[in-house]
Structure 1
Amino acid sequence: MIKTFTVLLACQCLGELIAYAGNLPIPGAVIGLILLLASLSLRPGLSSAIESDSLALLRFLPLLFVPAGVGIMVFAGRVAHDLLPMALSVVVSTALTIVVTALVGQGLCALWPPRAAPLTTPFASALHADGNTAPAAAEIAKVDTP
């Protein structure tokens, strides 16, 4: 766990240092994530070393939303006053993010040929024996019959 924290914090601190020293308009945390991605790409053994601890840390991710919720409650009057512009900016930025993410994803998929074997992750469902991800007809029949 300490090795994982060290790697994650080192990437974030380096990102903050680069953003501060270069007077860049990009947040240091984003630069740190790019550095983490680069280090994971260059050293494949690193990903296996920090994977289990990183997945364990993801369980506590919702705690990071507590300060934002407290801030909204503290400034509830101002939020109510500026609700329409805030809601509009959230909707527009979300739609723009979805469009840009889809375009970047399509561009990246066009760059790399498909792999011979499917990529397995802890989040991916197991493939059936015939190679399809859809449930077999026999399994559907089991669910539909009482």
Structure 2
Amino acid sequence: MPSAMLVLVGCQLVGELLRATFQVPIPGPVIGMFLLALVLGIRAKRTGTGRTPAPLKPVAEGLIANMGLLFVPAGVGIIAEAGVIRKEWLPIVVAVAGSTILSLIVTALVMHWTLRPAHADGADHEGGVS
């Protein structure tokens, strides 16, 4: 478990370093998450298995099980900035609604493209007539 936690924290650190180096407006932990997904994807292709590495699984499951605790700082931040939220509620609501709709559209398109059948090119590979 310590090695898996070290991998997760290391990915976050690399993400933070990349964010600071290239001045990108994406949070370091998000960059680290993409790097971890990339490494796991390459590993899965190389080994031929899509399984999560054994040491990483209990750490990931433990973090997911306690995810509610990870939202406490965000909740405290919202309460601490209640005055700003009261003054700027309309742009916040528009941004949240717009980003939610955009996320749903992008997710639907990605799912559509990735789950497209292999014979979607119009050819019937089973010898039957359409």
Q: TM-score, normalised to structure 1's length?
A: 0.67
Unaligned stretches of 5+ residues in structure 2:
45-50, 119-130
Match of 1:71 among 74, 77, 92: 77
Aligned residues: 112
Provide the aligned C-alpha RMSD in A.
2.0
How far, CA to CA, are the matches of 1:65 and 1:80 in structure 2?
A: 21
SS at match of 1:47: coil
Q: Give me the identity figure in percent.
A: 38
What is the match of residue 122 of structure 1? none
Counterpart of 2:17, as a letter, is L
What is the match of residue 91 of structure 1? 97
Q: CA deviation at 1:10?
A: 0.9
Q: CA deviation at 1:78?
A: 2.2
Unaligned stretches of 5+ residues in structure 1:
114-146
- Residue 12, structure 1, aligned to residue 12, structure 2: yes
Q: CA deviation at 1:46?
A: 5.9
Q: TM-score, normalised to structure 2's length?
A: 0.74
Q: CA deviation at 1:42?
A: 2.5
The 1:104–1:95 alpha-carbon spacing in structure 2 relative to 1, beyond 3 Å, is same
The 1:89–1:57 alpha-carbon spacing in structure 2 relative to 1, beyond 3 Å, is same
What is the match of residue 42 of structure 2? 42
Alignment of 1:1-146 (within 5 A): 1-44=1-44, 47-110=53-116, 113=118
SS at match of 1:54: helix
